[in-house]
Amino acid sequence: MATLEREQACEQATHLAGTVREYMTLLEQAPPLRAQGLTGDFRVLADFNGTVLAGHQTKFGIHFVTWDRDFRWTGLNYGHYFQENYVAAKQDFAIRSGLVPQHQVFNQEQLTEIFHCCADTLNTNLNLSPKQEAYIRDIQEQIESGIPDITEQLREQEHQPTEPYIPQQTM
């Protein structure tokens, strides 16, 4: 295995281990979630503005869910289930609770396209200043930290045929 690939694999493993340590520590210290009709040992990882992020240990690992509390704060509504995806559950909680406005968050498809546009910009002869190049590379690194396999995703997209854009006629 090449040295760069080995380093990237180590970085991914280190990042994953840190994430698991974070949610396992929270889960061990978290109080039980109490709500009408809720069964199972759900633990409150975060609770803000009527939105709850909870974790639940299963035989397949830790599953995460966000809910809105009902108006009496006795029940839960509109669950978003994330299975083992803690990072996505935290992001959903931040948006649903109002901690982060939705328009300030890019989804994975948008980030992939931004990454691709950055690569295209760096690969063209646009006479960018060193500062501009550094900003663009920093953006790519930030996206890579959130989507570690982004370069593989882009390679897969390149091998898939794209459908041409055909404008629809309207009356």
What value does the mean pLDDT of the chain take? 84
Q: Kindly state the average pLDDT of the residues 116-144.
A: 90
Q: Cα Rg for the chain, rounded, in angstroms?
A: 21
Spatial separation of the C-alpha atoms in residues 106 and 108, rounded to whole Å: 7
Cβ–Cβ < 8 Å for 75, 37: yes
Spatial separation of the C-alpha atoms in residues 65 and 68, rounded to whole Å: 10
Percent of the chain with pLDDT over 70: 91
Grade residue 133 by pLDDT with cuts at 50, 70 and 90.
very high
Q: Kindly state the average pLDDT of the residues 89-103.
A: 91
Cβ–Cβ < 8 Å for 2, 10: no
Q: What Cα–Cα distance (Å) separates residue 90 from each residue in 38, 41, 47, 84, 150?
A: 21, 19, 11, 12, 20
User: Given this model, what pLDDT does residue 160 score?
Assistant: 64
**pTM > 0.75: yes or no:** no
Grade residue 93 by pLDDT with cuts at 50, 70 and 90.
very high
pLDDT digits (tens, 9 = 90+) for 76-86: 888 899 888 88
Q: 36-40, 58-62, 112-116, 136-140: lowest mean pLDDT where?
A: 36-40
Cβ–Cβ < 8 Å for 53, 66: yes
User: Given this model, what pLDDT does residue 64 score?
Assistant: 93
Cβ–Cβ < 8 Å for 87, 108: no
| DSSP characters over 109-163 | HHHHHHHHHHHHHHHS-----HHHHHHHHHHHHHHHHHSTTHHHHHHHHHHSPPP
